[in-house]
Amino acid sequence: MDRIADNYFNLAILTRYYPAILDGFWVTCAVAALVVVAGIGGGLAIAVARAFEKRALNAVIVGWIDFFRTMPQLVVIVIVYFALPYGGITLSPFAATVLALGAVLSAFAAEIFTSAIQSIPRGQWDSARALGLGFLPTLFLVILPQAIRLAIPLLTNRTIAIIKGTALGSAVSLPEILGSAQSAMAIAANPSPLSLAAALYLILFLPLVVASRFIERRFGPGWR
pLDDT of residue 130: 85
Q: In this predicted model, what pLDDT tens digit does every residue of 106-145 receive, in sequence order?
A: 999 999 999 999 999 988 888 888 888 888 889 998 999 8
Separation between Cα atoms, residue 204 and residue 185, nearest integer Å: 21
Instruction: Determine the pLDDT at residue 76.
Output: 95
* pLDDT, position 114: 94
Specify the pLDDT at position 1: 67
* pLDDT score for 87: 87
Whole-angstrom Cα distance, residue 55 to residue 83? 30
pLDDT at residue 36 in the model? 94
Q: Where are the alpha helices (DSSP H) in the chain?
A: 2-8, 11-51, 55-70, 73-78, 93-119, 122-130, 135-137, 144-163, 177-188, 192-219
Q: Residues 47, 113: contact at Cβ < 8 Å?
A: yes
Second CATH level (architecture) for the domain 26-177:
Orthogonal Bundle (1.10)
| pLDDT for residue 220 | 60
Domain residue extents for the chain: 26-177
Q: Please state, in angstroms and rounded to a whole number, the distance separating the CA atoms of residues 91 and 104.
A: 17
Are residues 177 and 146 in contact, defined by beta-carbon separation less than 8 angstroms?
Answer: no
Q: Are 215 and 153 in contact (CB under 8 A)?
A: yes
pLDDT averaged per 10 residues in sequence order, the chain, 224 residues: 72 87 92 95 95 92 95 94 91 95 96 93 87 88 89 86 88 86 86 89 86 74 51
Q: Helix or strand or coil: residue 27?
A: helix
pLDDT value at position 31? 94
Polymer length in residues for the chain: 224
